[in-house]
């Protein structure tokens, strides 16, 4: 399983279909790219419940139930927020796995390329911190694509353990 593989999307959908599982996404940094990549695969309707583009903190809080304390204490760019988003979308949708992305894609700011991927199942919720910037000009779309790839990769790894 390769992070940059074009087959990552297909493998994700096929594994969920074989296991009879459903997924849902809550995306900030990637703005719907994870959902797009899942739904590009024929048969995704059997495994995909919904995707929420939760760019604002208001939506993170009101729809996904990310606690205000988490957003105020740790910010929207944190492992705590990623975990709360993944857990929130899983509960909202009734899916077996919730996947979230949050972070900073740039082009400017102190922490460009800092990304958090959240994964939530009934058994546990966790996050991964990634540093995806290479200091290149105009790398926003590269960071977003890599973040979506890592989100699918970590979700797929988790699903294989269910």
User: Is the pTM of the predicted complex or chain greater than 0.85?
Assistant: yes
**Domain membership of residue 109 as a residue range:** 8-160
At 140, which helix (H) or strand (E)? helix 140-160
Q: Is residue 113 part of a domain?
A: yes
Q: Is residue 136 part of a domain?
A: yes
Provide the 3-class DSSP secondary structure of residue 74.
helix
Q: In angstroms, what is the C-alpha Rg of the chain?
A: 15
Q: Is residue 3 part of a domain?
A: no
Q: Is residue 156 part of a domain?
A: yes
Q: Is residue 1 part of a domain?
A: no
Give the per-residue pLDDT at 107. 86
**3-state SS, one letter per residue, for 20-82:** CCCEEEEECCCCCHHHHHHHCCCCHHHCEEEEEECCCHHHHHHCCCCCHHHHHHHCCCCHHHH
Predicted confidence (pLDDT) at residue 2 exceeds the cutoff of 80: no
Average pLDDT over residues 18-28: 98
- Give 123-161 pLDDT, tens digit per residue: 999 999 999 999 888 899 999 999 999 999 999 999 998
Give the per-residue pLDDT at 127. 98
Q: Is residue 120 part of a domain?
A: yes
Q: Is residue 51 part of a domain?
A: yes
- For residue 84, the domain's CATH number is 3.90.950.20
**Count of domains observed in the chain:** 1
Beta-carbon contacts of 58 under 8 Å, excluding residues fewer than 6 positions away, are none
Predicted confidence (pLDDT) at residue 46 exceeds the cutoff of 80: yes
- Give 78-127 pLDDT, tens digit per residue: 999 999 999 999 999 999 999 999 999 988 888 999 999 999 999 999 99
């Amino acid at each position: 399983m390769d992070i940059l593989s074009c087959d990552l999307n297909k493998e994700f959908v096929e594994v969920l279909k074989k296991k009879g599982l459903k997924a849902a996404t809550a995306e900030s940094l990637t703005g719907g790219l994870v959902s797009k990549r899942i739904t590009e695969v024929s048969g995704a309707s059997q495994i995909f419940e919904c995707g929420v583009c939760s760019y604002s903190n208001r939506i993170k809080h009101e729809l996904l139930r990310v606690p205000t304390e988490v957003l105020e204490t740790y910010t929207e760019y944190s492992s705590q927020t990623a975990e709360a988003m993944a857990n929130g979308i899983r509960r909202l949708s009734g899916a077996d796995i919730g996947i979230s992305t949050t972070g900073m894609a740039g082009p400017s700011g102190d922490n460009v390329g800092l990304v958090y991927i959240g994964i939530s199942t009934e058994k546990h919720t966790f996050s991964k911190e990634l540093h995806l910037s290479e200091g290149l000009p105009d790398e926003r779309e590269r960071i977003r694509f890599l973040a979506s790839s890592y989100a699918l990769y970590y979700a797929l790894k988790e699903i294989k353990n269910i």
